[in-house]
Structure 1
Amino acid sequence: MNDQTQNFDAMIRNAMDAFPVKGEAFETGFKRGADLNEKLTTIAVDAAGRSTELSAEWTRDTLSRVAEMSKAKSEPAAYAQSFADLTTKQMEGTVERMTAFAEIVKAAQMATVEALMDAGKAQSETAAKTATNTARKTAAAAK
């Protein structure tokens, strides 16, 4: 019964040996992928950090304004005015913060597109070199 058990390890090795592959190509591809991943991660972490700082600043401003609004007033109308001031400042702050968030997103998007374009360009150059070399070798072999 042991004689009938297939050796999958040997089968895989034989299959891999039947298709010789340059390890250098895999190594180069892995390095390029790792470089691209590093660039994209840096972009994402930077955007997240800037966004977090902006959110924290917004929270501090809001809490400061709420503290100011909650102070005891001598006139009842002063409470209404204080609330109106808070609302106005919050609306202005919201517009400013949303614009700042949009700038963070825009910068991250531009950096991402640039990184992807660079990676695509490098890949295209490699493909062109490989095609040229293959054509040259095929022409030489045909002669």
Structure 2
Amino acid sequence: MAKQNQKSASNEIQSMFDPKNYQDFFKTWAKMNERFTSIMVDAGHRSIKITSETANEALSNFRDAAQVQDEPAHYAQAYSTLMQQQIELAGRAMQSFGEESQKTGSAVAELTSEEGNAIAEKATENAERLAEKASSAAKKAA
């Protein structure tokens, strides 16, 4: 009888490491990684768009400032206008990057909270199952 209990306990211990539980855990982790990557890629695309639009406007401003002027004093005005446009452009670009950064940060915080809780729940469920099986195996071995 003791030998049967030991064999049963041995089988119980082997069943503690259920691959499905670990697969579920890793799938949950992979889904979080997929969503995180999507957030980062989207933020990268939007940042590239901001950079591209800013560069295009800056180049256009330089082109306008480089136009031949009728009077020498007009060059000073063109330079002054260029500097004002560039300052305004830099301010708008920084505001856009700041908004993008805030938006991305909020999305990451939300994802981390949601998925972190899901991963913690899966890990807790797996640990509880493991503890139950270990307890059952110990009782059968005794």
Q: TM-score range by the shorter chain?
A: 0.7 to 0.9
Q: Which residue matches 2:35?
A: 39
- Using the size of structure 2 for normalisation, the TM-score is 0.77
Q: Which residue matches 2:97?
A: 101
- Which of 76, 86, 108 aligns to 1:90? It is 86
2:57 corresponds to 1:61? yes
Alpha-carbon deviations, 1:27-80, whole Å to 9, x = none?
Answer: 112211210111111111110000000111001101111111111000111001
2:112 corresponds to 1:116? yes
After the TM superposition, which segments of 4 or more aligned residues of structure 1 sit over 3 Å from their partners?
Answer: 17-20, 127-139
Q: Which residue matches 1:9?
A: none
The structural deviation recorded for 1:131 is 5.7
Q: Distance in 2 between matches of 1:135 and 1:92?
A: 63
The structural deviation recorded for 1:126 is 2.7
Let me know the Cα RMSD of the aligned residues.
2.5
Equivalent position SS for 2:115: helix
Residues 1:98 and 1:46: Cα distance change in structure 2 (over 3 Å): same
Q: Which residue matches 1:51?
A: 47
> Where does structure 1 lack aligned partners over 5 or more consecutive residues?
1-16
> Where does structure 2 lack aligned partners over 5 or more consecutive residues?
1-12
* % same residue: 30
Q: Distance in 1 between matches of 2:27 and 2:128?
A: 23
Q: Distance in 1 between matches of 2:71 and 2:31?
A: 64
2:77 corresponds to 1:81? yes
Q: Distance in 1 between matches of 2:64 and 2:116?
A: 54
Q: Distance in 2 between matches of 1:132 and 1:107?
A: 37
Q: Distance in 2 between matches of 1:50 and 1:38?
A: 18
